Amino acid sequence: MTTLVLGVGHPDRGDDAAGPLVAEALLGTPGIDARAVTADPSALLGQAGWDTASQVVLIDTVRTGARPGSIHYWSGTELLEHLPATGGGTHDLGVATTLQLAAALDRLPANLTVIGIEGVRFTFGAAPTAAVERAVAVVTGALSRGSWIGID
Amino acid sequence: MSHTHDRTISVEALARVEGEGAMHVEVTDGRVDKVQLRIYEPPRFFEAMLRGRSYVEPVDITARICGICPVAYQFSAINALESLCLGPDHQPPAGIRQLRRLLYCGEWIESHVLHIFLLHAPDFLGYAGAIEMAADHRELVEMALRLRKAGNQILEVIGGRAIHPINVRLGGFHRTPTRAELGTLEDELTWGREAAIEATRLVAGFDFPALDQEHTFVSLRPEPETLPPGATGYPIDGGRVVSSTGLDISVEEWPEHFYEEHVAHSTALHGRLRDGGNYLVGPAARFSLNADRLPDDLRALADEVGCTPPVTNPFRSIIVRALETVYAFDEALRLIAAYEPPTVPAIDVPATAGTGHGATEAPRGILYHRYTLAADGTITDAAIVPPTSQNQPAIEEDLVDFVQAHLHLADDDLQWQCEQAIRNYDPCISCSTHFLDLTVIRR
């Protein structure tokens, strides 16, 4: 069984790089198909394995007001219950809208885990903060050991 | 000054952090005095970062500016640098030029389909967004996702991956695909072309709010003698700069006719014509200035759906995007059929001192790059003019009229209407759910 790990974010915008950094660190890990999704999140639905992988783990930087570097994890269904009603953006769909769209199309993976890493710095060209770098290492280690996968 | 209403709406936590737009409206005695739109603009940072770097780097670095249109950034950079280093009469071989245009078609498909079906169509069909629309129009949303995937596949086969292609370099590609590899795309592109035609008919049937805005249109327009056999030359990857007021210049002459200025309310520069006034780039401008460059059957389709140049109602830009999507599929199939695999994946591009200019038609309009190089290829100056900064003054001008006509609405409704109006121009703002922080001051 292969777990599809999708790290969402922009590699050049400070803490938003957390998802791609985790995906990069997991490349080559047995049992894990890790990919960085560095642009329009609606591309998640076109990823090979989105509809078929036994487990899908999505990692993204979030802003909830928690301490920077805090790690949140939700099952896909749990997260959907707490997402606000959405409208349209101008340029792409965003992770929240993409997950809701997947649910509306009955294409939400049966076993989806969403890991959020609390970010604080999103300046273009900035490196991730030390707190987020530590969180990236923690999440990478946990996923490589099989933790936090399939909590739904 | 009495401050009778002041409202701010924030983005939610899991939104992507691409920035957001903010709109500030001031009203006195029922008249709109001022509309200011603030749009986050990343290229400023990249211009500074490029100085001191090698001339081979902008192709990869500038692709990072936008996740939706990295190909546009790559090829505007390539056009600028190759025009300087190779000279206007020396170009890479036909196969490389075909692959570049084909890759660009993939990006147009991805970007236009996203905007038409997942961002813009919900406005016309009366839904808050694509999710709500999916419940009633599942087939439409599934079709949109399949169309986008067809565009993605072009980027994967030629660019190496769907997002931020890594196979593009100055002089050509790191590796060029075989005819057989391109052939794997044909079935889905053939389906996509037909699906896009039906989609054009569908969106042309939407109800469009009455709005007529006269702007100077500016777009690229390839010179007929540069077109390969079978090509009609709708602008994508280069051409001269033309306008609805008679401008017809080479890209090298851009700085003599266009400039950008700082405005106090925005980090984005505002593009303006040196002889005065605002201008508009993007699908409406492209189509209005180049409808004759569409193949005959697409011109017939445009006539059938009532889309004729000039397109002055910005809400009808969705029809133009649909037509351009058909063209992108059509052109992709033509390019695959004509593909002549080059003998080398890339030609040598020697460092040359001087200044090079390049422009291409990003999905949302002209993207201009300029680089000045030292003799060893070190970049001493860089300028990047994205379509959104060019359009911003015209968008603000349009919004004055639009807000004036909708002042009777409550702020929530006004925000929603303004978001829809702004969406007509497909600006690079944000991907957050409610992208607009609206402040209305009524005196």
Q: Is B161 on the interface with A (CB under 8 A)?
A: no
Does residue B74 sit at the A interface (CB-CB below 8 Å)?
no
Using a CB–CB cutoff of 8 Å, tell me whether B387 touches chain A.
Answer: no
Is A46's CB within 8 Å of B142's CB?
A: no
How many CB atoms sit inside 10 A of residue A33's CB? 18
Please tell me the distance from the alpha carbon of residue A73 to that of residue B240, in angstroms, as a whole number: 52
Is pLDDT of B17 > 60?
no
Residue B67 to chain A, least CA–CA distance (Å): 4
Burial B94-119 (b: 16+ CB within 10 A, else e): ebbbbbbbbbbbbbbbbbbbbbbbbb
Longest CA–CA span in chain A (Å) reads: 39
Residue of chain B with shortest Cα separation from A84: B12
Confidence band of B9 (pLDDT split at 50, 70, 90): very low
pLDDT at position B413, please?
Answer: 82
Q: Which residues contact B345 (CB under 8 A, 6 or more apart)?
A: B96, B172, B173, B174, B175, B176
| B14 interface with A at CB cutoff 8 Å | yes
Lowest mean pLDDT among A97-101, B16-20, B286-290: B16-20
Q: What is the pLDDT of residue B10?
A: 26
Question: Would you call B12 exposed, middle or buried from its count of C-beta atoms within 10 A (0-12, 13-18, 19+)?
Answer: middle
Q: Is B148 on the interface with A (CB under 8 A)?
A: yes
pLDDT tens-digit map of B270-329: 889 998 889 999 999 999 999 999 999 999 999 999 999 999 999 999 999 999 999 999
Kindly identify which residue of chain B lies nearest to residue A46, measuring between CA atoms.
B149
Instruction: Establish if B249 touches chain A: CB-CB under 8 angstroms.
Output: no
B419 in contact with A, Cβ within 8 Å: yes
Q: Is the pLDDT of residue A55 over 70?
A: yes
ipTM: 0.73
Picking from B9, B53, B127, B431 by the largest number of A CB atoms within 10 A of its own CB, the best residue to mutate is B431
Say which residue, B432 or A34, is predicted with more confidence: A34
A62 pLDDT more than 60 = yes
Least confident of B114-128, B135-149, B150-164, B271-285: B150-164
| pLDDT range class, residue A86, cuts 50, 70, 90 | low
A22 phi, psi to nearest 5 deg: -65, -45
The structure's pTM equals: 0.87
**B50 touches A at CB < 8 Å:** no
Tell me if B118 and A83 make a contact (CB, 8 A cut-off).
no
- From chain A, the residues in CB contact with B268 under 8 A are none
Contacts with B12 from chain A: Cβ below 8 Å? 83-84, 96
For B44, the closest chain A residue by CA position comes to A124
Mean pLDDT lowest for which of B111-115, B199-203, B352-356?
A: B111-115
Contact B135 A43 (CB under 8 A): no
B267 pLDDT more than 70? no
SS3 labels along B7-29: CCCCCCCCCCCCCCEEEEEEEEC
Between chains, do B141 and A105 touch, taking CB under 8 Å as contact? yes
Which residues lie across from B378 on neighbouring strands? B54
Q: Say if B126 is an interface residue toward chain A (CB within 8 Å).
A: no
With CB atoms and an 8 Å threshold, state whether B119 touches A91: yes
Q: Which chain B residues have a beta carbon less than 8 Å from that of A65?
A: 13
A151: tokens are 């909590």
Name chain A contacts of B432, Cβ cutoff 8 Å.
89, 94
B134 touches chain A (CB under 8 A): yes
By Cβ distance, the residue of A46, A64, A97 closest to B129 is: A97
Q: Which residue has the higher pLDDT, B414 or B282?
A: B282
CA distance B443 to B441: 6
- Comparing A109-123, B10-24, B123-137, which segment has the lowest mean pLDDT? B10-24
Residue B393 · residue B272 · CB < 8 Å:
yes
With cut-offs at 50, 70 and 90, classify the pLDDT of residue B7: very low
Question: What's the gap in Å between the CA of A64 and the closest CA on chain B?
Answer: 5
Cis peptide before A30 (omega within 30 of 0): no
> Cβ–Cβ of B163/A37 closer than 8 Å?
yes
User: Cα A95 from chain centroid?
Assistant: 8
Q: Do B119 and A84 touch (CB under 8 A)?
A: no
Nearest CA in chain B to A60: B14
Q: Chains A, B: CB contacts under 8 A, how many?
A: 157
Search chain B and give the residue with CA nearest A19: B16
- Does B48 lie at the interface with A, CB-CB under 8 angstroms? no
Q: Would you call A40 and B432 a contact, using CB atoms and an 8 Å cutoff?
A: no
| pLDDT tens digit sequence for B93-125 | 999 999 999 999 999 999 999 989 988 899 899
B397 touches A: beta carbon within 8 Å: no
CA triplet B257, B262, B265: central angle to 5 degrees? 135
- From edge to edge, which strands make up the β-sheet containing B216-221? B248-249, B240-243, B216-221, B279-280
Listed in sequence order, the residues at least 6 apart from B56 whose beta carbon sits closer than 8 Å to its beta carbon are B169, B170, B349, B377
pLDDT at B264: 72
End-to-end Cα spacing for chain B:
6
Three-state DSSP class for residue B347: coil
CA distance B107 to chain A (A): 12
Contact yes or no for B148 and A46 at CB 8 A: yes
Q: Which of these, A19, A116, A4, A99, lies nearest to A50 by C-alpha position?
A: A4
**How distant is the alpha carbon of residue B289 from its chain centre?**
16
Q: What is the pLDDT of residue B1?
A: 32
B398: pLDDT strictly greater than 80: yes
